[in-house]
Structure 1
Amino acid sequence: MGENYTFTFHFNLTLFVKIGSFRYPAFVLCLLMFAFIVSANIIILLVISQERTLHEPMYMFIALLSVNALYGSTGFFPRFLMDLLSDTHLISRPACFTQIYIIYTYASYEMTILSIMAFDRYVAVCQPLHYHNKMTRKKVCILSAFAWIMPAFSVAACLYLAIRLPLCGNKILKVFCAAWSVAKLSCASTLILHIATLFVGVVTVFLPLIYVLYTYCRIIIVCSKMSSEFKSKVFQTCLPHIISLVSYCLAAFCDFMLNRIDVKKLNPYLAVILSLEMVLIPPVLNPLLYGLTLPEIRKHIFRMIPWLKKHTLEQKMTYHT
């Protein structure tokens, strides 16, 4: 340890200072988005849980995405909203590492869930006659457990290494705690942490991504030999998953690049927007995609919300007249 080593009881999130008076409209906007994320994902969960016709693997995995959105959002937004209105932006050491764990497990869960959804679509399209034999309730439970347990332990291992680092400062140029930002404050070598983080990234992000791309290559090959009606049906069920995957990859790429460039050279508003993409885009986009694109879910949502059904009928009547 160097002689400048100090035990840090608090971290200072310095990027809040740079956004100035923008924090007030940002608070209102983020509060509305948080309210939408919670309500939209709860509606998806209620529809899937109450309708027995939706107790199928595809819809159960969609429910997992909604649970993950609620987990990540409720673990991030309350603290973030308080910081937006606060004049001081100190976060305690335990709270900082707790926030890191929630955000990183949330991001890992998102990718592992998308990968088991890709497996479900692969079996449904490429092996339809064996679908019910392969996607049993036991298999769904095993896949779901795998999607949750593996990231939980792998992220915890990296967090343990980060907690043990001796630090020579407490200023984090972000609006929330991040493992890479804490590692930059270390007085000692972070090689082991980098190796562990790289391993976790490969296991929870890159390998699942490669598998998803493989499954879609197989799906495309099968669809190329089928009728237009078959292609249309596959496209309808796979499109939301593809958009979810692309939006996740873009958000993850922005977060990855933001951690490896000098944020001081960026416009502070742009830096804040880029850093929030991971916790904003998937939780907002997924319920819209699956709730409005998939007919079975959309039908039951309209039944749950009578005014929405009435408004849709009025629009159709106006259009026809």
Structure 2
Amino acid sequence: MDNVSVIRVFSLSGINETMNYRIAIFSLTLLYYFVILFVNIALILIIILDENLHEPMYVLLCSFCFNGLYGTAGFYPKFLFDLLSSSHVISYEACLLQAFVMYSFACCEMSTLAVMAYDRYLAICRPLHYHSFMTRRRVCQMVCFSWITPFCMFSISIILTSTLKLCGAKIQKLFCVNWIIFQLACPDNDTLASSIISHATTFIYVSHGFFIVWTYMHLVMKSVRSKDDRVKFMQTCVPHLTSLVTFLIVIVFDLMYMRFGSTDLPQSLQNLIAIEFLLIPPVMNPLIYGFKLTKIRHRILGLVSVDRK
């Protein structure tokens, strides 16, 4: 193709600031990544191996944890390798793949949170119809929706990005982001199709947000009227609401800074802002659900007591 850039390698300049402390950062990052792997895999195995947890809410939680593993796998191994390397580069193809993983991970997180909100809405506001509607097939459809939608949207976006002719190869971040690659495009590129996909994606996930707000308006009104519903709301909706608020804060803050933020901030602070959505939710989500949901907490305590004996 004539309009494909000859640039085959990008430099990740965001990591240069960390090289004076790379051994300490490598050790802490490796330990933290192991924690992410442990808490998510442990929760997934608990749900899979315990038949009492083969319910829609826990199946969706399992998908939630899988997404956490998927997203962090797109960043931490490469970052750890870069900390031990003298050259911080990434191939053109690997950069596009990493950008795809980062965006699809974030949007899959949002889709899963929307599906989980709908599950809680049915459980509390429509309890008599819950089991007839949330069949195994329907749950599978909802899980597929939360994964396939972002995969399709960003497959198209990355394909369009790959056709751009680039006039730069320096990415001032720790990892590749589609928006940064898009900014490196030469002025003579036709970016109309990419802009349409970007606006369509924004519309879809803003709609997800409005849908979640709608479900929680009904959940709160229902919980206020009934003590039993209020208890159920506190046990099952508070973890979801905590995950949602945390995710929205870190992702919106990152997006706003990436588009409108000042580059005068220290690079280390810019790096921290950029990776917040890869630091906080992947660890916080399984811990919150593990300790707040009664069935999972009892299962964990049961395993701990067995080990002590």
Q: TM-score, normalised by structure 2?
A: 0.94
Stretch moving more, 18-27 or 137-146: 18-27
Provide structure 2 residue ranges, at least 5 long, that are not aligned to the other structure.
none
**Offset from partner CA, 1:213-245 (integer Å, 9 cap, x none):** 100001111112112x43122211100000100
* Closer, same or farther: CA 307–26 of 1 in aligned 2, 3 Å: farther
State the SS of the aligned residue for 2:164: coil
* Closer, same or farther: CA 269–201 of 1 in aligned 2, 3 Å: same
**Offset from partner CA, 1:25-61 (integer Å, 9 cap, x none):** 2222211111011111111011101111111000100
Maintained 8 Å contact 2:235/2:294: no
- 1:95 positional shift: 0.7
CA distance in 1, matches of 2:229, 2:284: 26
CA distance in 2, matches of 1:308, 1:173: 48
CA distance in 1, matches of 2:262, 2:100: 22
Matched ranges for 1:260-279 at <5 A: 260-261=259-260, 264-279=263-278
State the SS of the aligned residue for 2:90: strand
State the SS of the aligned residue for 1:224: helix
Maintained 8 Å contact 1:173/1:263: no
Matched letter for residue 167 of structure 2: C
Stretch moving more, 259-268 or 171-180: 259-268
Maintained 8 Å contact 2:166/2:184: yes
Where does residue 208 of structure 1 map in the other structure? 208
State the SS of the aligned residue for 1:265: coil
Where does residue 259 of structure 1 map in the other structure? 258
Where does residue 318 of structure 1 map in the other structure? none
Maintained 8 Å contact 1:37/1:70: yes
CA distance in 1, matches of 2:23, 2:260: 27
CA distance in 1, matches of 2:221, 2:307: 39
Where does residue 37 of structure 1 map in the other structure? 36
Maintained 8 Å contact 2:12/2:174: yes
- 1:129 positional shift: 0.9
State the SS of the aligned residue for 1:12: strand
Maintained 8 Å contact 2:157/2:194: yes
Aligned residues: 304
Where does residue 173 of structure 1 map in the other structure? 172
Where does residue 23 of structure 2 map in the other structure? 24
Matched letter for residue 158 of structure 1: S
CA distance in 2, matches of 1:309, 1:244: 32
CA distance in 2, matches of 1:49, 1:254: 35
Stretch moving more, 259-268 or 217-226: 259-268
Percent of pairs identical after alignment?
37
Maintained 8 Å contact 2:19/2:83: no
RMSD over equivalenced CA pairs, Å:
1.7
Where does residue 319 of structure 1 map in the other structure? none
**Offset from partner CA, 1:67-101 (integer Å, 9 cap, x none):** 11111112221011111222211100011011011
* Closer, same or farther: CA 33–308 of 1 in aligned 2, 3 Å: farther
Where does residue 97 of structure 2 map in the other structure? 98
Where does residue 281 of structure 2 map in the other structure? 282
Where does residue 313 of structure 1 map in the other structure? none
Matched letter for residue 101 of structure 2: I
State the SS of the aligned residue for 1:7: coil
Matched letter for residue 16 of structure 1: I
CA distance in 2, matches of 1:256, 1:295: 35
